[in-house]
Structure 1
Amino acid sequence: MAASERLHGYARYRLDGCRCYTCGWAVAQYNDAREHAIRRGQWQPFVDAEPVRQHIRNLQSCDMGLRAIATAANVDRKRLQAVLNGRPERGTPPQAQVRPAFAAAVLAVEPTLDNLGGKTVINAAGASRRLQALVAAGWPQHHLAARLGMTDGNFGATLHRDHVIVQTGRAVRSLYDELWRADPREHGVDNQAYSRARNHAASRQWAPVGAWDDDTIDDPAAFPDWTGKCGTSEGYDAHHNMRVLPSCQPCRDARAQRRREQREAKKAGMAVAA
């Protein structure tokens, strides 16, 4: 980067020799913070580069290129190359240490629908859950398939697939974001088709939109929260009180666990009494 392109601050002071007020103030602040950190025993100018290197390789195994990783982390791609392979043109090996801020930025990058390649194969949990939730809201499958540019057969298969490509996941997410709050009957879906879609979803226990949290809908291990208490000891009773039946499996499991604990407590009490 040319000196004229670099913002005034610590880097321009050190690399370009600029001695303006802004650059001098930045250096003074840096030195002051450094001295305080040293006195507190918290000065850590470098950290081990190996975890960063392994994370980059893991991201690459998910079909993320260095350019995509650099963009997501907001770092220079050449710095990633230096961590992975060193600088062959200079005869330097892969970096052994990196700055903490650089490490934190790279380690924070995760493979998502937004930064993976369109043809990358991913778990289909998020896509199928979103489509099932839309059907539960009254959107006919044929209507959704047409919006996604799918045949009815491909759409039906997507509802149950274990894996899809990122391009499909993005299209489904976009459609879900567009329709999840909309009333199908206000968008050309007649009452009969609306009821048929809802009944079809109910018969298969497809979770509605309100049962999923945006932060967990893509997590294969997550489960829908039908009652606001699902997966807890109160969930089973909540299902019956709200008439959301049958109870979901996490609530049945929590109820069984509660009964086991009650039996064990009773036995323990009898043993103490004896």
Structure 2
Amino acid sequence: MTAAVATRQCARPRCTRAPYRGGMCWPHYQRTWPAPEDAGPYRRRLRELTDAGWTIKALSVYTGVCEASLTTVLSGRWPRVYGATAARLRRLLDGPIDAAALAPTTCVPVLGTRRRLQALRAAGWDPADLAEATGITRGAVYSLSTEEDRATVHARPHLAVARFFLDHQADPVRPVPPRIARRGWPLPMQWDPARIDDPAARSEGGRR
């Protein structure tokens, strides 16, 4: 007696097509996808972040979307985004990027780190003390606070400086060398810690 051969077909009623995935044929499987979303909000957010110094590589690490897809969304070649890509990109719209979620060697925009170090030095902190407290070198304290053409810094020193700044923002101002006073850097209390990484933010003294 010949054994019956089981036939496989789409799990949807009255559909005789072969299954593609999830027990459904290709047309029925497509209907389970989330509706495509307008790529415009994601493109604008990506442009804001890249203009602020975020690299496509860092944004790829943060969102889980490959660099090629991010570049395509940013270029405008995709008018819509689908499924998992849209879900991952949505993370960019939730607020500021949390550098703590990135690998220590991921490059992040240097602006916030520069502002924090400048403010701390304007408040009388010596570079040697800042280096010891944050775990970065004294040379890095100098370069990060003065090199205006530098674009990025690794996430680890960025976070170390941010934590120290928050812990000591309200400390009394100490005497500073004349060369530091002449720079006119804002003091720590003149910065809103929630916006100090924002390129559009200004200190209470009106400086960026």
- TM-score bracket, shorter-length normalisation: 0.5 to 0.7
Offset of residue 167 of structure 1:
1.2
Once the two structures are superposed, residues 1-56 of structure 1 have per-residue CA deviations (whole angstroms, 9 ceiling, x without a partner) of xxxxxxxxxxxxxxxxxxxxxxxxxxxxxxxxxxxxxxxxxxxx95414639x77x
Q: Report the counterpart of residue 108 of structure 1 in structure 2.
A: 93
* SS of residue in 2 equivalent to 1:157: helix
Offset of residue 130 of structure 1:
0.5
Once the two structures are superposed, residues 128-161 of structure 1 have per-residue CA deviations (whole angstroms, 9 ceiling, x without a partner) of 1111111222222221122123333222111123
Q: 1:203 aligns with which of 165, 172, 182?
A: 182
Q: Report the counterpart of residue 218 of structure 1 in structure 2.
A: 197
Offset of residue 119 of structure 1:
1.3
**Is 1:48–2:36 an aligned residue pair?**
yes
- Greater share of helix residues, 1 or 2? 1
Question: Distance in 2 between the 1:60 and 1:154 partners?
Answer: 21
> Where in structure 1 are there 5+ consecutive unaligned residues?
1-44, 71-79, 85-94, 185-193, 231-247, 251-274
**Is 1:62–2:80 an aligned residue pair?**
no
Question: Distance in 2 between the 1:221 and 1:156 partners?
Answer: 24
Structure 2 residue identity aligned to 1:69: T
Pair 1:174–1:112, CA change in 2 (3 A):
same
TM-score, normalised by the number of residues in structure 1: 0.43
> Where in structure 2 are there 5+ consecutive unaligned residues?
1-32, 47-53, 70-79
Larger Rg belongs to: 1
Pairs within 5 Å for 1:220-239 = 220-226=199-205, 230=206
* SS of residue in 1 equivalent to 2:101: coil
Q: Report the counterpart of residue 73 of structure 1 in structure 2.
A: none
Pair 1:107–1:159, CA change in 2 (3 A):
closer
TM-score, normalised by the number of residues in structure 2: 0.55
- CA RMSD across the alignment: 3.8
**Is the CA contact (8 Å cut-off) linking 1:136 and 1:208 kept in structure 2?**
yes
Once the two structures are superposed, residues 84-131 of structure 1 have per-residue CA deviations (whole angstroms, 9 ceiling, x without a partner) of 8xxxxxxxxxx97549x9588445256431222221222211001111
Percent of pairs with identical residues: 23
Q: Report the counterpart of residue 161 of structure 2 in structure 1.
A: 172
Question: Distance in 2 between the 1:96 and 1:223 partners?
Answer: 35
